[in-house]
Structure 1
């Protein structure tokens, strides 16, 4: 799966069909092209009755770093009451520390405020942040967390270990093998997307579809 990630948006940009637009100017998208039904329909939070948008990402993914400002914009554009969540993908050993770090940061209450900054540190500033130790140093320096506690949570906390395993099963059930991917209500995921504006457009289209009862 990993070998496809770095070429994901290059390939999709070449193969994606342009979205048709009706007379009112609103974009419309086609199932099987810009989005597909998930392999196993399942919400991230089955207990929350709100329409749910989930971004599957990794701090190790440069495309996710480039998408982050678009993700922030999307959250502001979603209708009131629609929830936006993120799930860190651990497709390989290199990405596992990023998933562990995300959940350790979440438990320590700094995940949200550090999210965009960590993308910048890795992909813009090119800091060597790859291991749990390096990630713990970064969170400690920039957000004042206790390094030893961070490392212990990331590597030894059973709740985090179980969460990452559950995420892996969920991502597999959604049929995802590249990032960033958006999933709406566990039923649909983005597919052949030509750019990030279209990715957000597909998400809003699917949210509207779900708000109308799937029609």
Structure 2
């Protein structure tokens, strides 16, 4: 998979087990099934926690297909695993959707609206690739447009967007959906063979990180 393209991996349902199951003992190999970063990155979680990042783009059909599986996976994550979604911005026209996500996050509306955004784009065929389109859609969802716009254009959201771009560059993101684990590892459907297997690789890396403490 080339940088700035999107994973074409087949998706299937997987459950996340907190202990070290049989698949976590498989010989996943760095450089083949996942990539080990040359320099570990600082994570935004406390001591004893393991961070898992999902890099995504709302307009990516593979991210849309992966979302139900990933949402269930995140819901079942062990208590020491902190899951965060990171919207990418490979081009300037990705920025409105990046700000959309972080505004929803700031308003505590991700759980309510995240899937609705995917549905609007992939089901209703809305572009949502401009500030005007995003604000028009938000108003139709019954969300206070003035409050949303204030946060959407805020320094706080701009800072989160800048941090997201830094993360996608530091992880050398090759496409979406993809995962960053513990600030050390990168895996996607192309490396792992499918996004289902990518989750298994991620779980193995989580277990490995936990054991190495």
Q: Mark yes or no: TM-score above 0.5.
A: yes
Tell me which stretches of 4 or more aligned residues in structure 1 moved more than 3 Å. 1-4, 46-49
**Counterpart selection for 1:153 from 133, 136, 151:** 151
**In the alignment, which residue of structure 1 is the partner of 2:177?**
180
1:3 to partner: Cα distance: 7.1
1:171 and 2:168 correspond: yes
Point out where structure 2 has 5 or more consecutive residues left out of the alignment: 11-20
Mapping 1:9-48, distance limit 5 Å? 9=8, 25-26=22-23, 28=26, 29-47=28-46
Distance 1:209 1:53 in 2: 13
Which residue does 1:190 correspond to in 2?
187
Number of matched residues?
Answer: 199
* Counterpart secondary structure, 2:53: strand
**Structure-1 separation of matches of 2:200 and 2:168:** 22
Name the counterpart of 2:14: none
Equivalent residues of 1:65, 1:119 under 8 A apart: yes
Q: Please name the residue that 2:59 is paired with.
A: 60
Shift in Å, 1:128: 3.5
Counterparts of residues 67-146 of structure 1 (less than 5 Å):
67-142=66-141, 144-146=142-144
Provide the C-alpha distance between the structure 1 equivalents of 2:69 and 2:131, rounded to a whole number of angstroms: 27
- Gap runs ≥5 in structure 1: 14-23
Checking the alignment, whether the CA contact within 8 Å between 2:23 and 2:200 is kept in structure 1 is no
Per-residue deviation at 1:195? 1.5
| Equivalent pair of 2:48/2:80 in contact (CA under 8 Å) | no
SS in 1 for 2:23: coil
TM-score (norm 1): 0.82
Partners in 1 of 2:200 and 2:167 — Cα distance?
24
Tell me how far 1:208 sits from its aligned partner.
Answer: 0.9
Q: Is the 8 A contact 1:52 1:85 kept in 2?
A: yes
Q: Distance in 2 between matches of 1:64 and 1:39?
A: 27
Change (3 A) 1:190 1:2: closer
- Between the aligned partners of 1:106 and 1:187, the Cα distance in structure 2 is 25
